[in-house]
Structure 1
């Protein structure tokens, strides 16, 4: 009758390593999904479209059209070189195709402007045209214009996002990626550290993993991580252990190197690349669970 072996320190470490491995995989998947979601949202998002909720305000930004004339260049230079805190509304103007929209400019950097878009409670739902231009330089027909899409509720705004993460979680996918990537790295480091400790512990008990398992006609060629430095000699008979470190067969060594050995195994022996090889049939069972 098999008896359950109580958990010890080594088993707890293995449980932690297994948990971290699963968490690392989850974080990697989330990081990849967030990156893909962010890229597809970037391709699909209309940079000239601003979604806003009626009765609320939102930060918007866009490219500033600078007419190729002396006045346009001069006004733009004044605005860009203005002192911090200067009211940029004196340099940049706007006009809309519908009442109820107002825009207060906060910053200008090169050709990029940033402002606070306010939508009144009486603003009509739907799309409205928004033109942004420099003082004294009303846009001509070739100047690009923005579209403000007025939505009734925050729920409608959330549903309008092209990013799945933004739509479902309310956060940009890039923030998800920046949050999950460090966690993925952290959990991976923990897994490698614990796996390294586990491997050192097994080697100290004369147990090593199988590095190579290849079919050679009527037998398996096996390469494993025990060698001359571990006390293995040619023609030694070692024990094959499964993933639970339970003996499932024997193996006869024909070539021994410093850190590895080679052996041939009959095709009828149950063996897997994820199995182990032990120097002793009984000692590993006593030491492994200590």
Structure 2
């Protein structure tokens, strides 16, 4: 097996690997998006002894964090309001804080209501549900992401990994394609990279030129993607590295077919 055949086989293998990487990248993205849609903004899963970042809408009449109050079905869950500031998108006031969960809390569902002290605004209080799990294994089953649930890895990390691998694979394919073009050119061969319809025939564009012995009026052979003879063409324009030829009558041509300056 010559160098050209080996390089073609290698490019084919890397292409299949790159396709697998792309599929896995797509699955990671889908898993992330679906998990985001499935995650409720008012239901939280947690373990004892942890905290949950939380925020909600306030109102212009709310002046300090002391105006935010919380009632809970358990004294072992309390809220800590860290700040009140303008929201990023619509400019409304928002409160930011944390639900702090005691290490002594038992497994179960707990309700919390966050409102405004002295009913300063006509706004329904925010209601939250916190589900406490007894251990990490049972907590993992609450993950909306299947990747994170079964492999305990963030789908963002998986997506970033396969994105990088895909870029590297396609970069390698690009380098191999350049090598293949050079090896083919050394043998007086090239792939047709463009086909353009003409009045009575079609123009074919390929990467062989004066440097490879191709000149105006040179006759070249055309082969299909299986290596079978498809017909001939006559060069009507040639540069040092590229040429344009007219396919002769009966010659079927498509991008990806091969041309050769002599019979093979």
Question: Does TM, normalized by the shorter one, top 0.5?
Answer: yes
Tell whether 2:159 aligns with 1:171.
Answer: no
| 2:72 is the counterpart of 1:96 | yes
Partner of 2:91: none
Residue 188 (structure 1) aligned with residue 170 (structure 2): yes
CA contact 2:224–2:230 (8 Å) conserved in 1: no
Of 223, 229, 233, which residue of structure 2 is paired with 1:252?
233
Q: Which residue of 2 aligns with 1:263?
A: 246
Q: Residues 65 and 143 of structure 1 are in contact (CA less than 8 Å); yes or no, is this contact kept in structure 2?
A: no
1:50 matches 2:26: no
The aligned residue for residue 89 of structure 2 is none
* 1:186 Cα deviation after fit: 1.5
Q: Secondary structure at the match of 2:221?
A: strand
Q: Which runs of 5+ in 2 are unaligned?
A: 86-94
Give 1:1-290 correspondences, 5 Å limit: 5=1, 9-52=3-46, 56-63=48-55, 72-73=63-64, 75=66, 94-98=70-74, 101-103=76-78, 110=85, 111-114=95-98, 116-118=100-102, 120=104, 122-123=106-107, 125=108, 127-131=109-113, 137=117, 142-151=124-133, 154=136, 157-213=139-195, 221-243=203-225, 246=227, 248-258=229-239, 259-267=242-250, 272-282=254-264
Question: Could you say if the C-alpha distance between residues 66 and 263 of structure 1 is closer, same or farther in structure 2, counting changes exceeding 3 Å?
Answer: closer
Q: Is contact 2:222–2:233 with CA below 8 Å preserved after alignment?
A: no
Q: Report the secondary structure of 1:47's partner residue.
A: coil
Superposition CA RMSD, Å: 3.8
My pick for the range that moved more, 44-53 or 156-165, is: 156-165
Gaps of 5+ in 1: 77-91, 283-290
Change (3 A) 1:16 1:252: closer
Cα contact 2:194–2:204 (8 A) shared by 1: yes
Question: Aligned in 2, Cα 1:160/1:139: closer, same or farther, shift over 3 Å?
Answer: farther
Tell me if structure 1 keeps the 8 A contact 2:190–2:258: yes
What SS does the corresponding residue of 1:142 show, helix, strand or coil?
A: coil
CA distance 1:121–1:113, change in 2 (3 Å): closer
Between 205-214 and 106-115, report the one with greater CA deviation: 106-115
Task: Give the TM-score taking structure 1 as reference length.
Answer: 0.67
Aligned residues: 251
Cα 1:138/1:278, change in 2 over 3 Å = farther
- By how many angstroms is 1:50 displaced? 0.7
Distance 2:60 2:205 in 1: 73
